[in-house]
């Protein structure tokens, strides 16, 4: 059944992506929607099994690895200030508005603050694909978005650890901070060793030794990030940057794209829709609409204001803000933590999962609209 399911996902994803492009939308939008179509909500042809989930996780890790391979380190350094502004502004607005919404719904202070942190999470794995299709991944805007996502991820994790260590949680703040600092220190040291490792490994008289070396670095960095409490996609992204400065960067980009986009990445996009079941949520429709609108507006406006403060035009700023809207797998992980820790009940957890899906679906067309409008103005 796994082989059949993969075949169905690949056929449907490629066709849906093509239809999306013909409708003047990023192909990733069609790939996301096809997961809903194939999943339990509509046709029920594919069940999101554990093995499909694991394949999808390889997909998002490889996708962010490619983003790192295509990131100019010089451009990344130049946009550091802008990334900080966008990342922090994109946290403050969702936390404040999410907390206010939680208070209005009668949640406790801790629960309301958790909602704010959940809405502050950003996952740009979807935005990366949209940026690539728009030819903007290596632009100043694209580099700012990726840098802001790293900052956003780390700050939200630290704030979440602080919340859980002070309000009924069992997470100590100091060890979390120590692991995060240790992660960035270790990967900085390891990055200097990456060129030597890839060079030596590529000399092995076996097939695709260079590609294997790159994937090894990607997986090790991702695993180290996951162990440190930072999302695995951040580790994969850093690994891509580390290899990009070597003479193997361009070669690896093409080869990793081949293995990623032929199997793993389409499964990742489809799995987002497969994980959602809309049955029984009709009575909470108005809450879903409110939180979805809040999630979209808070990130869009917060990210745009941060970009504007960093010197971007309003058109560029709105495009950057739209790229930060998607919550993706980072928010799903935080929602799961909230359910286990008692910050979310089953109903609110289901609502938040739908909100995460909505933000993920609207991000590609929003980016297409704002960036295309900016380019023509």
42 class by beta-carbon count within 10 Å (0-12 exposed, 13-18 middle, 19+ buried): middle
Q: Report the chain's terminal Cα–Cα distance, integer Å.
A: 50
**Cα–Cα nearest to 273, from 15, 58, 13:** 13
Domain boundaries, the chain: 2-276+283-376
Does residue 24 sit in helix, strand or coil?
A: coil
pTM (2 d.p.): 0.76
pLDDT tens digits for range 203-250: 999 999 999 999 999 999 999 988 887 778 888 988 998 998 888 888
pLDDT tens digits for range 99-146: 999 889 888 888 899 999 999 988 777 788 888 888 888 888 999 998
- Overall fold of domain 2-276+283-376: Na+/H+ antiporter like fold (1.20.1530)
DSSP string, 311-356: T--HHHHHHHHHHT---HHHHHHHHHHHHHHTSS-HHHHHHHHHHH
pLDDT tens digits for range 320-334: 999 999 887 678 777
């Amino acid at each position: 059944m796994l082989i059949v399911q993969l075949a169905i996902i690949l056929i449907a994803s490629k066709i849906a992506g093509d239809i999306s492009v013909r409708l003047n939308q990023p192909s990733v939008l069609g790939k996301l929607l096809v997961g809903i179509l194939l999943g339990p909500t509509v046709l029920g042809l594919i069940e999101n099994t554990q093995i499909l989930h694991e394949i999808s996780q390889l997909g998002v890790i490889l996708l962010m690895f490619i983003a790192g391979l295509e990131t100019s380190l010089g451009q990344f350094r130049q946009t550091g200030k802008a990334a900080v502004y966008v990342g922090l502004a994109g946290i403050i607005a969702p936390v404040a508005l999410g907390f206010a919404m939680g208070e209005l719904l009668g949640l406790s202070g801790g629960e309301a603050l958790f909602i704010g942190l959940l809405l502050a999470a950003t996952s740009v794995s979807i935005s990366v694909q949209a940026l690539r299709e728009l030819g903007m991944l290596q632009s100043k805007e694209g580099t700012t978005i990726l840098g802001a996502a790293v900052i956003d991820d780390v700050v939200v994790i630290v704030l979440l650890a602080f919340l859980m260590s002070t309000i009924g949680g069992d997470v100590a703040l100091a060890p979390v901070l120590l692991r995060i600092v240790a992660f960035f220190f270790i990967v900085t040291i390891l990055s200097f060793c990456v060129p030597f490792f890839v060079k030596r490994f590529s000399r092995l008289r076996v097939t695709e030794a260079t590609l294997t070396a790159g994937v090894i670095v990607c997986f090790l960095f991702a695993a180290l990030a996951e162990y440190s409490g930072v999302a695995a996609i951040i580790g994969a992204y850093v690994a891509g940057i580390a290899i990009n400065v070597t003479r193997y960067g361009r070669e690896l980009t093409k080869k990793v794209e081949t293995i990623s986009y032929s199997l793993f990445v389409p499964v990742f996009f489809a799995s987002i829709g497969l994980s959602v079941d809309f049955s029984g949520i009709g009575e909470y429709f108005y809450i879903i609409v409110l939180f979805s609108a809040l999630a979209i507006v808070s990130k869009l406006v917060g990210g745009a204001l941060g970009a504007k403060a960093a010197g971007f035009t309003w058109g560029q700023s709105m495009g950057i803000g739209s790229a930060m809207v998607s919550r993706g797998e980072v928010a799903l992980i935080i929602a799961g933590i909230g359910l286990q820790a008692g910050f979310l009940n089953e109903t609110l957890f289901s609502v938040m999962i739908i909100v995460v899906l909505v933000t993920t679906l609207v991000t590609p067309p929003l980016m297409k609209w704002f960036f295309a409008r900016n380019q023509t103005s």
